[in-house]
Amino acid sequence: MTGKTIITAALFFTVCLSGCISFGEHYRGLEPNARVMESDDYEVLGPAEGQSSSFRLIGLFPVTPITSFDKAIDEAISDKGGDNLINVKYSIKKDYWVVGMIEVLHVKGIVIRYRR
């Protein structure tokens, strides 16, 4: 083997071992509202997004707290200062790396505020 071939092979294996093995985003659903509706009398504040993520070492051992639907919903609602989220769409994206797995729960919807 020549020096150039060895360097190329070493670079190839380094990229393969340190990079992302697989990834995918899966749309999980559409819900009419995130929480139970308190009233039909509300104002629309606008679209918002929220997310929650986690990391598992070797895909098995949790390093960070698990993904939380409630945390993602709270982030979206607090972004606009509202009370609830309607027309909720959510998806889960998983990236598999050699050292572990990253999971991201992404939530989109329309923030509303109840009229008092």
Residue 96's domain is classified under what CATH number?
3.30.110
Record the pTM.
Answer: 0.73
Confidence of residue 97 (pLDDT cuts 50, 70, 90): confident
Q: Rounded to an integer, what distance in angstroms lies between the CA atom of residue 115 and that of residue 37?
A: 12
Whether residue 73 contacts residue 107, with contact meaning beta carbons closer than 8 Å, is answered with yes
Does residue 3 lie within any of the structural domains? no
pLDDT in tens, 57-81: 887 888 999 999 999 999 999 989 9
CA-nearest of 88, 55, 87, 52 to 72 is 52
Whether residue 102 contacts residue 95, with contact meaning beta carbons closer than 8 Å, is answered with yes
Does residue 76 lie within any of the structural domains? yes
Does residue 5 lie within any of the structural domains? no
Residue 78: both structure tokens together? 């607090």
Does residue 94 lie within any of the structural domains? yes
Radius of gyration over every alpha carbon of the chain, rounded to an integer in angstroms: 21
The pLDDT assigned to 28 comes to 73
Does residue 95 lie within any of the structural domains? yes
Does residue 56 lie within any of the structural domains? yes
Q: How many domains does the chain have?
A: 1
Does residue 106 lie within any of the structural domains? yes
Does residue 9 lie within any of the structural domains? no
Confidence of residue 29 (pLDDT cuts 50, 70, 90): confident
Helices (H) and strands (E) in the chain, counts: 2, 5
Containing structural domain, residue 80: 21-114
The pLDDT assigned to 1 comes to 56
